[in-house]
Amino acid sequence: MAGVSSCMKYTMFIFNFIFWVCGCIILGVSIWLRLSVSDVDISDSSAFTSIYILIAVGSIIMVLGFLGCCGAMKESQCMLLLFFIGLLAILLLQIVAGVYGGVHKSQMQDVLNKTLNETSKLLQTVTTTNKEALENFHKFEIKNKCCGLFNGVSDWGQNLNTYDGCVCDKEDQKSNDCAGNRYKEPCGAIIIKFFKENMAIVMGIAFGLAFIEVLGMVFSMILYCQIQGK
């Protein structure tokens, strides 16, 4: 009876190590995206659905990569079968996330706009619960050189005297970015732009990873059959 190909075994190991690294990358990028907007108090979690899905995908991919490495080196049919089933589940999850993102793209944009509009109302009130959020948004304004969420200084209401982060730096006061001594661009536009640009990158990584997952499924089944026929 035919034995297990050493070439296939070590190819499977190398593949799964690369697969594990890809899982680390997609998990790291997804977490970075989520934390990058933590300065803004967005309470509606539906705006982050795709990011949360990708965080779960990255975590599971890391586990599967480790499982595939062990299954290949130990020649374990059980591990290889679990690896195959896990990859298939991840592939289906990525397809669902991609289709969901494509079909509901406009709705997700509306949800984000609605969430930001609700957040803009909070800028005009100070309570013990939202004081920290106001301070975080104030820092966000200064860091990104923007003003308010959609309507500039009027979004702050009477709180403008306390949280005025719209004032232009001296070197920017004569530039087109400023109107008078305040920045013109609303922070809401920057947040929406951030989501559009970086979600495209994350989804590109996810679908590129789908090709690697298909290869992994093929390799695992070939190795599984070789071990079975050993």
pTM of the model: 0.52
Whether residue 181 sits in one domain with residue 77? no
Q: Is residue 147 part of a domain?
A: yes
The answer to whether residue 11 is domain-embedded is yes
Asked if 94 and 126 sit in the same domain, the reply is no
User: Do 185 and 198 share a structural domain?
Assistant: no
Instruction: Classify the phi-psi angles of 145: left when phi > 0, otherwise alpha if psi is within -120 to 50, otherwise beta.
Output: left
Q: In this structure, are 99 and 211 located in the same domain?
A: yes
Same domain, 51 and 123: no
Same domain, 44 and 158: no
79 domain-assigned: yes
Domain that holds residue 141: 111-189
Q: How does pLDDT run across 181-194, given as a tens digit for each residue?
A: 888 888 878 877 77
Overall number of domains in the chain? 2
Judged against a pLDDT cut of 70, whether residue 29 lies above it is answered with: yes
Query: Tens digit of pLDDT for each residue in 143-157?
Result: 888 887 777 777 777
Same domain, yes or no: 25 and 125:
no
Q: Is residue 1 part of a domain?
A: no
d(CA 84, CA 88): 6
For residue 44, what pLDDT is reported?
A: 46
Local confidence band at 222 (pLDDT 50, 70, 90 cut-offs): confident
Give a yes or no: residue 140 inside a domain. Answer: yes
Residues facing 6 on adjacent strands: none
Cα 16 from Cα 71, distance rounded (Å): 10
Same domain, 185 and 74: no
Same domain, 182 and 204: no
Write down the mean pLDDT value for the chain.
75
Q: Do the Cβ atoms of 72 and 9 come closer than 8 Å?
A: yes
